[in-house]
Amino acid sequence: FLCHDEAQLLAAVDSNIGIPNVFQHVKESVAVQEYLQGDEFVVNTMSLDGMHRVLDMWSAHKIVDGDKILYGHQLLVADSRQHPD
């Protein structure tokens, strides 16, 4: 859900709590995060003994349709220098 005010947020949370998820476990909580417009990247990392490594990075294609955020495909970013920010 894409919520624009507190009332929409509360309604979205209420509509998700207490219903089964895809694994048929009843949802007792939900994660809420701020929506930022623009490109979205997923960066998978690993840390061990103080060493940190980026394993891969994905670019996510998404479309906003009213109050829904629809995710299409994800593409593996071959070279992070293509996205200097």
Query: Which of residues 35 and 85 earns the better pLDDT score?
Result: 35
Position 71 scores a pLDDT of 86
- What is the spatial distance between Cα 6 and Cα 57, in angstroms, rounded to a whole number? 33
pLDDT (tens digit per residue) in 10-62: 999 999 999 999 999 999 999 999 988 888 899 999 999 999 999 999 998 88
Who's near 47: CB < 8 A, 6+ residues apart?
53
Q: What are phi and psi of 37, to 5 degrees?
A: -70, 150
Which tokens sit at 27? 């949802």
The alpha helices in 1-85, defined as continuous H runs, are: 6-16
Query: Which of residues 34 and 83 earns the better pLDDT score?
Result: 34
Instruction: Note the pTM of the prediction, 2 decimals.
Output: 0.60
- What is the spatial distance between Cα 58 and Cα 62, in angstroms, rounded to a whole number? 13
